Structure 1
Amino acid sequence: MSLITLEAFGVTIGAPLFSNLSLTIHKGDRIGLVAHNGGGKSTLLRHLAERSEPTSGRCRYGRNLRVTLMRQEPEATLLPLSLRDVLLQALPAESREWEAWRADVALDDIAVPPELRGRPLQELSGGWQRMVLLAQAWLTEPDVLLMDEPTNHLDLKRVGQLQRWIAALPQDVALLVASHDRAFLDAVTQRTLFLRRENSVAFSASYTAARASLAEQDAAMARRHETELRQATQLRRQAAKLHNIGVNSGSDLLKVKTRQLKERAERIEAVVRPVHQAASAGQIRLADGGTHARTLLTLDDVRVATLDGKRLFTTGRMRVHPGDRVVLLGPNGAGKSRLLSLVTDAVQGQPQAGLGVSPTVIAGICDQSLSHLRLGETLHSAIASRFSIGDQRIRSLLAGAGFPVERQADTVARLSGGERARLAMLILRLEEPNFYLLDEPTNHLDIAGQEMLEEELQRREGACLLVSHDRRFVENVGTRFWLIERGHLVEADDPGGFFKAAMQ
């Protein structure tokens, strides 16, 4: 049974976000929504939840249908409220008093500790806020649940909890979820909608299988378009020849024929557009600095501790060689980022006990907060202040990273999280490192950006030491895995066992 039907649905906000979208959501559907940052995912979900009028096309809803959106961030009016009061807001005002027990049950369902339930929402971590928003959405008893980036701020344990919660949903409830987490989409969906400015496309498969089908479809379309463009070129050549003959002979018939050939070529060229690649707004490229050293980093019983001196773990004897892509694994708070910080200090010339760095190391550093970006500098000055390259080259590099010339005078502070990540990756590329130190590098990157970063790291010869909660990124990039376990750093064969345990 169809619950929502989109017919040639389109939304324009200044410029078209997407158009001509046709989609039917049935009972029990589990649909993944994929697009690049700024591609309209949140806008589409908001339109469906609020039943807003589209710019073009229409949307039909089933009778008495309840559609609820779980937003990315809580509304400002909810932040001062206790968790219980936040959930009570989801209940009808007329029945809130005698149905308040449902809020308590919902808090139990998401395993909120009793000591947190009376605290204001604004005092809790992003992960707990996200789980409370989920419980609030579910209290509305929706027929269609819309989820906007539900895994943001969640650690692996809560991602596992969320996956199990979705698996236990009533079979007739439909789910439409926008996410950049590929492993999550594979686990919870069985259809995928790739939202595009034109020609959005859906497949009856979860993300990985759907992405492969999309690549095949795009390749076939590219071949067809290439053939049609060659035909248009031939028509223009024929028209040019007839035009010359017509001018010399004065034949009106040849002039008419020439015009007809040109019009046919123009019609073909108008229909044939470049194939839409499901890519981020800009390209991500990296570069290698190269090294002849056999060992880039040595760890000899390095003691890793908190800033106040509490021991977290000891590394034992570990080595990083050229070409190694080492992933640090461990639960939150185990000390992954702390070890990365010690290595960063060492490569920047601050000696650390037991930690040796080859003098040939050229480090490319990117932390979670992108702290090397200065908020007050412009995009242009962010490159010019770091590298001795010409003005025209800077403009070209920024344009290739998705920043058109008219935006290059904007300050870093005005960029979205995804845009800052792309600027950081451009700076990383220009540094030409041979040893990458990356702390959660996929934060803020859309799926296409994640895949581009993966491909760049895989085809580069430089080494890498990284921390990431992105399961698919870790599996695709890592060649070695260091696991923090019972106070020690040990080598693991693969990340699968850690991920499975962490999500229980």
Structure 2
Amino acid sequence: MALIDIIEASKKFGEKTILNNVSFSVNENEKIAIIGKNGEGKSTLLKTLLGTLNLDSGRVIRQNNKSIALLSQNVNFDSNLSVEETIKIGLKEIYEALQTYEKLQSALEKHQNNALLKEIDAVIDFIESKDAWNINNKIMRFLKELKLESYKNRSLSTLSGGEIRRVGLCILLLQNPDILLLDEPTNHLDVYMCSFLENLLKNSKMCVIFISHDRYFIDEVAQKCLEIEEGKIRIFKGGYTHYLEKKTELLASLSKSHETLLKQLKSEEEWLRRGVKARLKRNEGRKERLLKIRELAKKNPSEIRKIRLEIERANLNFNQTQSTNRKKMLFELKNINLSFGEKRLFSNFNARILQGERIGIVGRNGSGKSSFLKLLLGEIKADSGEFKRGDLKIGYFDQARNCIDENKSLVEIFCPNGGDRVEVKGKNMHVFGYLKSFLFPKEYLDKSVALLSGGEKNRLALALLFTKEYDILILDEPTNDLDIATINILEEYLQNYEGAILLVSHDRYFVDKIATKIYAFENESINVLHIPYTQYLENEQELKEFDEFIKFEEKNSNMKEKTSKKLSYKENEILQKHPEKIEQLEREIKELQNALSNPQIYERLGIDNLYKQLEEAQKILEILENEYFLVLEKSEKEA
């Protein structure tokens, strides 16, 4: 059923056409990614769907009884309030409904009539539609997952812009609207927060329409990609992988003017397919280990620890493809210790950073990644240890993008001595010939930098960076605020770059594509790894699940011994057989969710049929889990 219909919509800003007579529909439960270059109108489209921006012509028809909410790039709250107060104000409607329910329950105990019953039914429907019976527990879980738990009582005025935006995201997710609009939701989230958000959105009944440059996020969440380009809209079924495939086919059928872009997309599609194949192979390995663990849990629990050791060793893959003996040493670190205030960031770190290395620096927010870069740049000193830096030229690209003078035009930035020629790594080029490869049209040459959008300024900073010759590029969150087209350009330049690269990024796709070595910041230490970033994250998740499984098995085993005699026959049956049933249902649900994100499957089996199967499986799972945890709780009390 359509929640929103856009009919013959047109919108201009000055001479720029954003929407040119476009029509499409947004349906219940759909997950739609909006893709397009910066300045094409992605955010404008979201505001049009929300109803805060009027069209020049055409119509937007929304279902009146459906709620809609937007997370924009800029979030505004009363800075004097605490995080908890801000969230409770944002959830005022839910809290009022819960209070109304309590009052109606009391009234019904004294006197029942049809009007009261009708009113309480409506309140119950609203609370259930928001999944809000346990709202306080949900708030605590979301605060924990978005790393806001310790800020609960802090004033918003003491938080960074990224932290305030996470508060806004937290409120919207808890409000659980029928239609959720998200503008770059993964900005300021680390990979663990992204994973939480991915799983939440995939399993949600909300219709979610989002703008993102995070290609793995798009691939995981989106069932449909909506591309906006030159005022027109094209819709591609499936996630980012399917979008790439169909976009490549489309460009191949058009004129030769698209040859460069087509070559780039084909290269990206090939790279992505190799990655998908590798992940599928790793998934098979994980399934085999899981089956082995379950068998060992029954027969020989002591052997399980050996499997954990295998997983840990998978992270320490020290196979290097190149000899490092003859390479120029750029940095040498011996027994380096670094703190930030009272917080220890890492201890006794030893490493040599050599010519041509490509290192991805990853870890949770606040783990010390940017501080590590500052140490290399000489902006801060280590608490102790020996640090050496070779005679080298460093190209630094930071989150502030401070290298651009906003009072100058583009041609003045690149040709400071006049003329229209620019030196690019010793090669003399026409300034437009160079800037067009960074997606700047000719009419932009005389444009003031101050008039550019945030994304265009970032693109300009990258273009300036790649005119110079450096021994090493140090990049701090380079993909933030870039569109996918610009990230592709950045990746192409980095892949052809001959110097060393150090990059801090939460963009898993970007790190996988560029880095051949990982510095993983965790538990006040730095682990040096030679595996793809996503493989490291998969191994980390498997270890976590492994430990939870062991803990559960040990607890379950002890509990069974103590309590089986005190439970009824039926309760013992539930305790012994429900876990297997729950596990089977979880597998079925995962398969159905995968089917719903794969156009080749849902077009063959029918999307409505698959959704019905999914809803039925989720209902049965909820019943089984409730039965199991009730008996589990009783057995724990008995124990």
1:499 aligns to 2:537 (yes or no): yes
Q: Are 1:362 and 1:433, in contact at CA under 8 Å, matched by a contact in 2?
A: yes
Partner SS, residue 339 of structure 1 = helix
Work out the CA distance in 1 between the residues paired with 2:62 and 2:72: 21
Distance apart, 1:118 and its partner CA: 4.3
**The structure with more helix, counted as a fraction of residues:** 2
Distance apart, 1:51 and its partner CA: 6.7
1:366 aligns to 2:401 (yes or no): no
Distance apart, 1:471 and its partner CA: 0.5
Q: Are 1:146 and 1:176, in contact at CA under 8 Å, matched by a contact in 2?
A: yes
Alignment of 1:240-279 (within 5 A): none
Alignment of 1:435-446 (within 5 A): 435-446=472-483
Q: Are 2:31 and 2:221, in contact at CA under 8 Å, matched by a contact in 1?
A: yes
Q: 1:221 aligns with which of 254, 272, 277?
A: 254
Work out the CA distance in 2 between the residues paired with 1:381 and 1:445: 23
Partner SS, residue 423 of structure 1 = helix
Distance apart, 1:474 and its partner CA: 0.2
- AA at the equivalent of 1:383: F
Distance apart, 1:53 and its partner CA: 4.1
What is aligned with 1:295?
A: 328
Work out the CA distance in 1 between the residues paired with 2:164 and 2:342: 30
- AA at the equivalent of 2:208: L
Alignment of 1:376-415 (within 5 A): 378-384=409-415, 390-393=419-422, 396=432, 397=434, 401-402=438-439, 412-415=449-452
- AA at the equivalent of 1:367: D
What is aligned with 1:469?
A: 506
What is aligned with 1:111?
A: 143
TM-score (norm 2): 0.60
Q: Are 1:91 and 1:140, in contact at CA under 8 Å, matched by a contact in 2?
A: no
Distance apart, 1:321 and its partner CA: 3.6
Q: Are 1:278 and 1:448, in contact at CA under 8 Å, matched by a contact in 2?
A: no
What is aligned with 1:39?
A: 40
Partner SS, residue 427 of structure 1 = helix
What is aligned with 2:69?
A: 68
Identify which range, 478-487 or 307-316, moves more after superposition.
307-316
Q: Are 1:297 and 1:355, in contact at CA under 8 Å, matched by a contact in 2?
A: no
Deviations 1:240-299 (A, max 9, x none): xxxxxxxxxxxxxxxxxxxxxxxxxxxxxxxxxx799699xxxxxxxxxxxxx7224242
What is aligned with 1:158?
A: 193
What is aligned with 1:13?
A: 13
Structure 1 unmatched ranges of 5 or more: 227-273, 280-292
- AA at the equivalent of 1:145: L
User: CA, structure 1 residues 371+51, in 2 after alignment: closer, same or farther (shift >3 Å)?
Assistant: closer
- AA at the equivalent of 2:158: E
Count of aligned positions: 435
What is aligned with 1:333?
A: 366
User: CA, structure 1 residues 98+82, in 2 after alignment: closer, same or farther (shift >3 Å)?
Assistant: farther
User: CA, structure 1 residues 9+131, in 2 after alignment: closer, same or farther (shift >3 Å)?
Assistant: same
- AA at the equivalent of 1:431: K
Distance apart, 1:412 and its partner CA: 4.6
Q: Are 1:91 and 1:139, in contact at CA under 8 Å, matched by a contact in 2?
A: no
Distance apart, 1:20 and its partner CA: 3.4
Q: Are 1:378 and 1:408, in contact at CA under 8 Å, matched by a contact in 2?
A: yes
User: CA, structure 1 residues 35+297, in 2 after alignment: closer, same or farther (shift >3 Å)?
Assistant: same
- AA at the equivalent of 1:22: S
- AA at the equivalent of 2:165: R
Partner SS, residue 22 of structure 2 = strand
User: CA, structure 1 residues 410+197, in 2 after alignment: closer, same or farther (shift >3 Å)?
Assistant: closer
Structure 2 unmatched ranges of 5 or more: 102-126, 264-325, 423-429, 545-639
Alignment of 1:185-200 (within 5 A): 185-200=218-233
Q: Are 1:305 and 1:313, in contact at CA under 8 Å, matched by a contact in 2?
A: yes
User: CA, structure 1 residues 88+482, in 2 after alignment: closer, same or farther (shift >3 Å)?
Assistant: closer
User: CA, structure 1 residues 434+389, in 2 after alignment: closer, same or farther (shift >3 Å)?
Assistant: farther
Work out the CA distance in 2 between the residues paired with 1:6 and 1:191: 16
Q: Are 1:35 and 1:278, in contact at CA under 8 Å, matched by a contact in 2?
A: no
- AA at the equivalent of 2:4: I
Work out the CA distance in 2 between the residues paired with 1:465 and 1:490: 15
Partner SS, residue 469 of structure 1 = coil
What is aligned with 2:459?
A: 422
Deviations 1:69-117 (A, max 9, x none): 2222223x54444433454245459947936996745523412667644
- AA at the equivalent of 1:133: G
Q: Are 1:457 and 1:477, in contact at CA under 8 Å, matched by a contact in 2?
A: yes
Work out the CA distance in 1 between the residues paired with 2:490 and 2:353: 21
Work out the CA distance in 2 between the residues paired with 1:459 and 1:56: 46
What is aligned with 2:120?
A: none
Work out the CA distance in 2 between the residues paired with 1:389 and 1:487: 51
Partner SS, residue 111 of structure 1 = helix
- AA at the equivalent of 2:43: S
What is aligned with 1:26?
A: 27
Q: Which has the higher contact order (CA 8 A, sep 6+)?
A: 1
User: CA, structure 1 residues 88+215, in 2 after alignment: closer, same or farther (shift >3 Å)?
Assistant: same
Q: Are 1:301 and 1:314, in contact at CA under 8 Å, matched by a contact in 2?
A: no
Distance apart, 1:356 and its partner CA: 3.8
Q: Are 1:438 and 1:467, in contact at CA under 8 Å, matched by a contact in 2?
A: yes
Work out the CA distance in 2 between the residues paired with 1:79 and 1:18: 36
Q: Are 1:33 and 1:193, in contact at CA under 8 Å, matched by a contact in 2?
A: yes
Q: Are 1:110 and 1:131, in contact at CA under 8 Å, matched by a contact in 2?
A: no
What is aligned with 2:59?
A: 58
**Percent identity for Structure 1 against Structure 2:** 30
Work out the CA distance in 2 between the residues paired with 1:81 and 1:28: 34
Identify which range, 195-204 or 105-114, moves more after superposition.
105-114
1:479 aligns to 2:526 (yes or no): no
Deviations 1:423-467 (A, max 9, x none): 221221111223211111112211111111111111222221111
Work out the CA distance in 2 between the residues paired with 1:179 and 1:364: 27
Deviations 1:384-415 (A, max 9, x none): 45xx6744547535566455676556665554
User: CA, structure 1 residues 204+405, in 2 after alignment: closer, same or farther (shift >3 Å)?
Assistant: closer
Work out the CA distance in 2 between the residues paired with 1:50 and 1:276: 38
- AA at the equivalent of 1:478: A
What is aligned with 1:268?
A: none
